[in-house]
C-alpha cells in the first residue's frame, strides 16, 4: 500500500454520537468520512466501555454466569495443557462472587489502554511505514468508532451465553465443525476465528481506507490476514503446550 493520503473530505457533515455509532454499522463509508473530518473519540470509547463492562458485570452477577465462568476457567486451563486440582477449583469457586468486580475493573482500565495502543500501532504502520500523514486523533477516532461492533457483539452474545449457560464462543467457526477433536490444531484455530471479530476488522479497514484514501479491499485483506495469522500462532502455541503435558 503506497501513496497514502489522509486529507479529510471537507463536505463531510458532523454527526452526533448516536448517529456515528449507528452509521458505522449500517453505512460505515459515509459515517467514517464524517468521523475523519471531525475526529472525536471520547464519547464512542465511553459508550463501548459502558456497554461491554456493564453487560459482563450483569451476566457475572447471576448464578448462571458465575457457573459458566468457572467452567470456562477450567476449560481454559486444560486447553493450555494444565490440570485443575480439587483445591484449585474450590479457590476458583470462592472467587466467583468477586469476579464481576474484577472483570468490570479490568475492562474499564484495559479497553481504553488497548484502544489507544492499537491506534498508535496503526498510525506507525500507515504513517511511518507507508508514508501517510494522518493525525493520531483521526486514527484513534476510527478505532474507537469501530468499537460499535463490540456493542452489537455484547448485546447479541450475552443473552445467548446466559441461555446456553456457557461463555464458550458461540460465534466462532469452531461451532460449525463439532466433528473435530476439540484439542486438535484445526479445532483450536477455527475456535479463534470469531465472526464478530472479523466484522470488527472489516469495519476498521473501511475506516482506515477512508482516512488514508485507499481502496478498502487491500486494507481489509491485510488486516484480516494479520488477524488470521495471529490466531494461527496462538492456536499452534496452545496445541504445543497441551502436547507437552
Rounded Cα distance between 100 and 52, Å, is 12
Phi, psi (degrees; rounded to nearest 5) at 180: -80, 145
- How many domains, in total, are found in the chain? 1
User: Has residue 65 been placed in a domain?
Assistant: yes
The percentage of the chain sitting over the pLDDT mark of 90, rounded to a whole number, equals: 67
Mean pLDDT of the region 233-243: 78
For all residues of the chain together, what is the average pLDDT?
89
Cross-strand pairs, 194:
172
What would the grid cell of residue 208 be? 482506515
Whether 12 is covered by a domain: the verdict is no
Q: Taking residues 232-238, report their average pLDDT.
A: 86
The tally of CA atoms less than 13 A away on the side-chain side of residue 95 is 12
Q: What is the mean pLDDT of residues 230-241?
A: 84
- Whether residue 2 lies inside any domain: the answer is no
Whether residue 1 is contained in a domain is answered as: no
Integer Cα distance of 230 and 219 in angstroms:
17
Among 13-17, 24-28, 113-117, which is the least confidently predicted range?
Answer: 13-17
pLDDT in tens, 155-201: 999 999 999 988 887 888 888 787 887 778 888 888 889 999 999 99
List Cα–Cα distances, 63 to 2, 36, 162, 220, in angstroms: 53, 44, 10, 40
Confidence at residue 177, expressed as pLDDT on a 0 to 100 scale: 81
Residue 8 included in any domain: no
Which one of 67-71, 137-141, 240-244 scores highest in mean pLDDT?
137-141
Q: What is the mean pLDDT of residues 206-210?
A: 96
136 domain-assigned: yes
Q: Which residue has the cell 472467587?
A: 95
Using alpha carbons, select from 18, 79, 125, 123 the residue that is nearest to residue 235: 79
Highest mean pLDDT among 109-123, 129-143, 164-178: 109-123
CA distances from 168 to 17, 154, 204 (A): 32, 14, 25
* CA-to-CA separations, 55 to 18, 51, 72, 98, 100, in angstroms, rounded: 19, 6, 18, 16, 10
31/15 Cα distance (integer angstroms)? 8
* Cβ within 8 Å of residue 42, ≥6 positions away: none
User: Is 243's pLDDT higher than 90?
Assistant: no
Q: Are 220 and 201 in contact (CB under 8 A)?
A: yes
Beta bridge partner(s), residue 172:
194
Residue 2 has pLDDT above 60, yes or no: no
- Please check whether residue 6 lies inside any domain of the structure: no
**Residue 30 falls within a domain, yes or no?**
yes
Strand-pair partners of 244: none
Helix (H) or strand (E) holding 189: helix 185-192
pTM beyond 0.75: the answer is yes
Q: With CA atoms as reference, report the closest residue to 130 among 200, 205, 214.
A: 214
DSSP code, position 129 = I
pLDDT of 5 over the 70 cut: no
Q: Using 50, 70 and 90 to split pLDDT, how confident is the model at 112?
A: very high
**Residue 1, pLDDT score:** 46
Full domain range(s) for residue 23: 17-243
In this predicted structure, the answer to whether residue 244 has a pLDDT above a threshold of 60 is no
Please check the confidence at residue 216 and state whether its pLDDT lies above 70.
yes
Q: Decide if 151 contacts 47 (C-beta within 8 A).
A: yes
What pLDDT sits at residue 97?
A: 93
- What pLDDT was estimated at residue 10? 54
Please state the rounded mean pLDDT for residues 65-70: 94
Q: Which residue carries 464478530 as its cell?
A: 196
Amino acid at each position: 500500500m503506497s501513496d497514502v493520503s489522509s486529507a479529510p473530505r471537507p463536505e463531510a457533515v458532523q454527526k452526533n454520537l448516536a448517529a456515528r455509532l449507528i452509521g458505522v454499522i449500517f453505512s460505515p463509508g459515509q459515517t467514517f468520512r464524517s468521523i475523519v473530518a471531525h475526529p472525536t473519540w471520547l464519547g464512542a470509547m465511553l459508550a463501548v466501555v459502558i456497554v461491554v463492562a456493564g453487560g459482563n458485570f450483569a451476566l457475572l452477577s447471576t448464578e448462571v454466569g458465575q457457573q459458566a465462568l468457572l467452567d470456562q476457567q477450567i476449560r481454559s486451563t486444560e486447553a493450555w495443557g494444565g490440570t485443575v486440582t480439587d483445591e484449585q477449583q474450590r479457590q476458583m469457586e470462592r472467587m466467583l462472587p468477586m469476579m464481576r468486580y474484577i472483570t468490570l475493573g479490568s475492562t474499564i482500565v484495559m479497553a481504553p489502554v488497548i484502544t489507544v495502543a492499537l491506534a498508535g500501532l496503526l498510525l506507525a504502520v500507515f504513517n511511518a511505514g507507508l508514508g501517510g500523514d494522518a493525525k493520531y486523533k483521526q486514527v484513534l477516532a476510527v478505532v474507537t468508532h469501530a468499537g460499535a461492533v463490540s456493542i452489537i457483539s455484547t448485546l447479541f452474545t450475552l443473552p445467548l451465553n446466559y441461555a446456553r449457560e456457557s461463555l464458550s464462543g458461540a460465534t466462532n467457526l469452531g461451532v460449525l465443525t463439532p466433528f473435530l477433536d476439540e484439542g486438535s490444531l484445526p479445532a483450536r484455530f477455527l475456535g479463534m476465528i470469531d465472526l464478530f471479530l472479523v466484522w470488527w476488522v472489516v469495519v476498521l479497514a473501511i475506516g482506515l481506507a477512508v482516512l488514508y484514501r485507499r481502496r478498502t479491499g487491500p486494507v481489509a485483506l491485510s488486516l484480516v490476514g494479520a488477524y488470521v495469522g495471529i490466531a494461527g500462532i496462538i492456536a499452534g502455541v496452545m496445541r504445543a503446550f497441551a502436547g507437552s503435558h
